[in-house]
Protein backbone atom coordinates (compact mmCIF):
# COMPACT_ATOMS: atom_id res chain seq x y z
CA UNK A 1 0.00 0.00 0.00
CA UNK A 2 1.69 3.21 -1.11
CA UNK A 3 2.58 5.64 1.66
CA UNK A 4 1.69 3.21 4.44
CA UNK A 5 3.87 2.90 7.50
CA UNK A 6 5.14 -0.63 8.12
CA UNK A 7 7.01 -2.13 11.01
CA UNK A 8 9.40 -5.04 11.05
CA UNK A 9 6.91 -7.14 12.99
CA UNK A 10 3.94 -6.63 10.64
CA UNK A 11 2.92 -9.16 8.05
CA UNK A 12 0.47 -9.05 5.17
CA UNK A 13 -2.70 -11.17 5.33
CA UNK A 14 -5.17 -10.65 2.51
CA UNK A 15 -3.99 -7.09 1.88
CA UNK A 16 -4.38 -6.02 5.52
CA UNK A 17 -1.44 -5.55 7.83
CA UNK A 18 -1.31 -7.46 11.10
CA UNK A 19 1.03 -7.38 14.05
CA UNK A 20 0.60 -9.99 16.76
CA UNK A 21 -2.92 -10.64 15.46
CA UNK A 22 -4.04 -6.98 15.48
CA UNK A 23 -4.92 -5.37 12.17
CA UNK A 24 -2.37 -2.61 11.51
CA UNK A 25 -4.31 0.47 10.42
CA UNK A 26 -1.55 2.80 11.53
CA UNK A 27 -1.73 4.83 8.37
CA UNK A 28 -4.94 6.25 9.88
CA UNK A 29 -4.44 6.06 13.66
CA UNK A 30 -0.98 5.80 15.23
CA UNK A 31 0.19 5.76 18.83
CA UNK A 32 3.95 5.23 18.92
CA UNK A 33 5.28 5.12 22.49
CA UNK A 34 9.07 4.82 22.80
CA UNK A 35 11.58 4.77 25.60
CA UNK A 36 14.11 7.46 24.76
CA UNK A 37 16.48 7.29 27.74
CA UNK A 38 16.64 6.26 31.38
CA UNK A 39 13.27 7.37 32.75
CA UNK A 40 12.21 9.25 29.61
CA UNK A 41 9.70 8.45 26.90
CA UNK A 42 8.21 9.95 23.79
CA UNK A 43 4.76 9.31 22.34
CA UNK A 44 3.85 10.28 18.79
CA UNK A 45 0.12 10.35 18.13
CA UNK A 46 -1.33 10.65 14.64
CA UNK A 47 -5.09 10.60 14.14
CA UNK A 48 -5.97 10.98 10.47
CA UNK A 49 -3.16 13.46 9.87
CA UNK A 50 -3.55 15.45 13.09
CA UNK A 51 -0.47 14.69 15.09
CA UNK A 52 1.73 15.68 17.99
CA UNK A 53 4.66 14.37 20.00
CA UNK A 54 4.48 14.41 23.79
CA UNK A 55 7.13 13.32 26.25
CA UNK A 56 7.12 12.02 29.81
CA UNK A 57 9.58 11.49 32.60
CA UNK A 58 9.70 8.80 35.28
CA UNK A 59 7.74 11.14 37.58
CA UNK A 60 4.60 9.46 36.27
CA UNK A 61 4.00 5.94 35.04
CA UNK A 62 2.98 7.30 31.64
CA UNK A 63 2.59 4.02 29.77
CA UNK A 64 0.51 2.42 32.53
CA UNK A 65 -1.73 5.52 32.58
CA UNK A 66 -2.19 5.40 28.78
CA UNK A 67 -3.08 1.69 28.84
CA UNK A 68 -5.41 2.06 31.83
CA UNK A 69 -7.28 5.00 30.26
CA UNK A 70 -7.57 3.16 26.94
CA UNK A 71 -9.04 0.12 28.70
CA UNK A 72 -11.39 2.38 30.64
CA UNK A 73 -12.93 3.97 27.55
CA UNK A 74 -13.07 0.66 25.67
CA UNK A 75 -15.05 -0.73 28.63
CA UNK A 76 -17.67 1.97 28.07
CA UNK A 77 -16.56 4.87 30.26
CA UNK A 78 -17.59 8.31 29.03
CA UNK A 79 -14.19 9.82 29.86
CA UNK A 80 -10.71 8.96 31.08
CA UNK A 81 -8.09 11.51 32.15
CA UNK A 82 -4.41 11.10 32.89
CA UNK A 83 -1.16 12.95 32.45
CA UNK A 84 2.38 12.58 31.26
CA UNK A 85 4.61 14.39 33.76
CA UNK A 86 7.47 16.49 32.48
CA UNK A 87 10.32 18.30 34.19
CA UNK A 88 8.79 20.87 34.31
CA UNK A 89 5.25 20.77 32.98
CA UNK A 90 2.68 18.18 32.08
CA UNK A 91 0.63 16.89 29.18
CA UNK A 92 -2.96 16.26 30.23
CA UNK A 93 -4.79 13.65 28.16
CA UNK A 94 -8.58 13.60 28.00
CA UNK A 95 -10.17 10.63 26.23
CA UNK A 96 -13.92 11.17 25.76
CA UNK A 97 -16.45 8.80 24.22
CA UNK A 98 -18.51 10.38 21.46
CA UNK A 99 -21.30 7.86 22.02
CA UNK A 100 -21.16 6.32 18.54
CA UNK A 101 -18.04 4.20 18.98
CA UNK A 102 -15.86 7.24 18.50
CA UNK A 103 -13.24 8.69 20.78
CA UNK A 104 -12.26 12.34 21.14
CA UNK A 105 -8.56 12.54 22.03
CA UNK A 106 -7.54 15.86 23.52
CA UNK A 107 -4.05 16.61 24.83
CA UNK A 108 -3.34 19.84 26.69
CA UNK A 109 0.10 21.18 27.59
CA UNK A 110 0.76 22.96 30.89
CA UNK A 111 4.04 24.69 31.79
CA UNK A 112 3.91 23.71 35.47
CA UNK A 113 4.03 20.17 36.84
CA UNK A 114 1.25 19.32 39.31
CA UNK A 115 -0.24 22.79 38.90
CA UNK A 116 -3.81 21.44 38.82
CA UNK A 117 -4.79 24.24 36.44
CA UNK A 118 -8.23 24.05 34.80
CA UNK A 119 -8.36 22.59 31.30
CA UNK A 120 -9.07 26.05 29.89
CA UNK A 121 -5.57 27.18 30.95
CA UNK A 122 -3.82 24.49 28.89
CA UNK A 123 -2.47 24.86 25.38
CA UNK A 124 -4.14 22.38 23.02
CA UNK A 125 -1.54 20.26 21.23
CA UNK A 126 -4.01 17.73 19.81
CA UNK A 127 -7.76 17.46 19.45
CA UNK A 128 -9.06 14.81 17.07
CA UNK A 129 -11.63 12.05 16.87
CA UNK A 130 -11.17 8.44 15.77
CA UNK A 131 -12.91 5.11 16.38
CA UNK A 132 -12.21 4.00 19.96
CA UNK A 133 -11.34 0.48 18.78
CA UNK A 134 -8.75 1.81 16.32
CA UNK A 135 -7.18 3.87 19.10
CA UNK A 136 -7.03 0.76 21.29
CA UNK A 137 -5.46 -1.24 18.47
CA UNK A 138 -2.87 1.51 17.90
CA UNK A 139 -1.96 1.45 21.61
CA UNK A 140 -1.71 -2.35 21.50
CA UNK A 141 0.57 -2.26 18.44
CA UNK A 142 2.86 0.14 20.29
CA UNK A 143 2.88 -2.11 23.37
CA UNK A 144 3.79 -5.11 21.23
CA UNK A 145 6.62 -3.15 19.62
CA UNK A 146 7.94 -2.20 23.08
CA UNK A 147 7.84 -5.85 24.16
CA UNK A 148 9.60 -6.97 20.96
CA UNK A 149 12.26 -4.30 21.35
CA UNK A 150 12.91 -4.40 25.11
CA UNK A 151 11.20 -7.40 26.69
CA UNK A 152 9.88 -7.11 30.25
CA UNK A 153 13.25 -6.78 31.97
CA UNK A 154 14.67 -4.42 29.35
CA UNK A 155 11.62 -2.17 29.72
CA UNK A 156 12.07 -2.04 33.48
CA UNK A 157 15.80 -1.31 33.11
CA UNK A 158 15.20 1.57 30.73
CA UNK A 159 12.09 3.10 32.35
CA UNK A 160 13.70 2.79 35.81
CA UNK A 161 10.69 3.47 38.07
CA UNK A 162 7.99 1.04 36.90
CA UNK A 163 7.43 -2.34 35.31
CA UNK A 164 5.75 -2.87 31.96
CA UNK A 165 1.95 -2.72 32.56
CA UNK A 166 1.36 -6.46 32.07
CA UNK A 167 -2.12 -6.56 33.63
CA UNK A 168 -3.36 -3.63 31.54
CA UNK A 169 -1.76 -5.20 28.46
CA UNK A 170 -3.58 -8.50 29.09
CA UNK A 171 -6.87 -6.64 29.56
CA UNK A 172 -6.37 -4.68 26.32
CA UNK A 173 -5.59 -7.88 24.39
CA UNK A 174 -8.74 -9.47 25.81
CA UNK A 175 -10.92 -6.43 24.97
CA UNK A 176 -9.65 -6.39 21.39
CA UNK A 177 -9.65 -10.18 20.91
CA UNK A 178 -5.92 -10.14 20.19
CA UNK A 179 -3.37 -12.78 21.19
CA UNK A 180 -0.72 -11.99 23.78
CA UNK A 181 2.81 -11.19 22.68
CA UNK A 182 5.13 -14.19 22.85
CA UNK A 183 7.11 -12.24 25.48
CA UNK A 184 4.07 -12.29 27.83
CA UNK A 185 2.73 -15.69 26.80
CA UNK A 186 5.99 -17.52 27.64
pLDDT digits (tens, 9 = 90+) for 134-181: 999 999 999 999 999 999 999 999 998 899 999 999 999 999 999 999
Res 111: pLDDT: 87
Res 17: pLDDT: 40
Q: What is the reported pTM?
A: 0.84
Q: Which residues of the chain fall below pLDDT 70?
A: 1-27
Domains, the chain, with CATH or none: 24-174 (3.30.2450)
Res 138: pLDDT: 96
Q: Which long-range contacts (CB under 8 A, 24 or more apart) does 35-43 make?
A: 35/146, 35/150, 35/155, 35/158, 35/159, 37/158, 38/158, 38/160, 39/159, 39/160, 39/161, 41/84, 41/159, 43/84
> What are the C-alpha distances in Å from 74 to residues 63, 79, 165?
17, 10, 17
Res 7: pLDDT: 34
Amino acid sequence: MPGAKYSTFSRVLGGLYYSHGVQDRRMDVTVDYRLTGAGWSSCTIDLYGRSCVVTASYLSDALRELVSATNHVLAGAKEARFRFDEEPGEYRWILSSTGDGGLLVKILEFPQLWGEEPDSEGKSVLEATCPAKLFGEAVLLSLNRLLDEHGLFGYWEKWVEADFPVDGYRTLCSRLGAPLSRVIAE
